A and B are shown apart, each in its own frame.
Chain A
Amino acid sequence: MLYIPCPYCGARDETEFTYGGPAYVTRPELSASDREWTEYLYHRQNTEGPYRERWLHGFGCGRWFNVLRDTTTNEIQKVYPMGGSDRLIETGR
């Protein structure tokens, strides 16, 4: 059971959180093509390895934040506030 270090509350059991899928998904404009739009809706990197994702501390502070977690070991490498930038992330999804 993951022990997730909420940047606001500290480490808590995963049962206090809701998973939000991948982080840094950019919402395309209305003018996006069907392909661009459905890639936004459905396609995922689904990385086997360090993965950038969102979590909500729903049974705690109620805030969303971002996490870098290795999906093969579940080791949490980094957490940072929603909208927080991380040099690694700047390069893409």
Chain B
Amino acid sequence: MAGPLPEGDKAPENGMLSASETAGSESRTFHAYVHIPFCKDICGYCDFNTYTATQLGSLKQSDYAASLISEIQFSAQVLEQSMVAPRKFSTVFFGGGTPSLLPATDLTEILNSLEQTFGFTDSAEITTEANPDTVTREKFEALRAAGFNRVSIGMQSGVQGVLDTLERTHNPENVSKAFEIVQELGFGTSLDLIFGAPGETLEQWCESLEAAISLRPDHLSAYSLIVEPGTKLARQIKSGELADVDEDLQAEKYELTEKLLVAAGYTWYEISNWSKSEKLQSKHNLAYWMGQDWWGYGPGAHSHLGSVRWWNQKHPLSYSKKLEHSLSPAAGREQLSEATAKLERVLLESRTATGMSIDELEELEHGAKSRIPQLIADELVDGAQAIKGRLVLSLKGRLLADAVVRTLTN
């Protein structure tokens, strides 16, 4: 079951943006997120906006590409009428749900529409997520030919028992098979892992990490499991069927992740992301943390342009209905005040390995600078980097990032 959308203001039906809202867009890069809200089954922990065939009602998956293409055209029209100078997409990310559940022809059609409408920059990063059990050579050959150049495989765990707890449909063998296919086809590779499934031991997590590392992906994401209210997992924990997540053990698992990945030659660039080299960092992922502009296509997708954030109608049916009537599919929007924008910058940029300039931080949050010595003393902030003028979290600080941000923005 998908979590709720944020509370915000009413979004205008024409989707228009004012000049002040989009000010400075020429200095920001532009990114596309494409949401594919379909899954064969819904995993117990998942609260993303995704639906099984039976949950879709009268909507057909085969009509979905057409809806997305309508929104792509709508977005071009809005930006043009809002006098935003045209920009090419630096990255495109197909996420879900399960993008690989759509036929390659549909995915190709959507990608082509994006390219024809906006164009892609020369080294554009074009990623799709994939479930290990939906990866076939035939399909991914087609996607490679269509222009996709990076695949993020939802491995989640290398231990069958843990995959069962998470209610994943794939098995560890699928992962290596899928990985070999996409690697051979010349895609950039990333593996997604989740740590902290109920009952997962430190040894099992170690086993998962070793399995992932042995495939030598370009990039790795390791996400701490969050028990979202309303999910089946939350109910299972509440009823006592499954153990609650032990946050101390989670911390140990994160520390182990850092240790093993560093030993294998990976470097962190954001709290949950590591890559083999700077070049192999996910540019799309970084765009979120660095406050760039992106348009999120699809039901429940979030967009950010200048000082506005908005989010689309959650259900695919109401989403496509809006577009059929040439209306903005947005369900709500949020105008970021100067103070909110400042808070977001600290919140987001401090999560990256680049961190943020302390002088700039002080400009955003008056008084933040004076709190840094204590944060260094508590080993939450890297002292050597601070001396060079940058706020970068230490390993301990990464685990307490939210607490550090609260301290800095007190």
The finding on whether chains A and B are genuine partners in a shared complex, rather than unrelated, reads: no
Interface residues of A (CB under 8 A from B): none
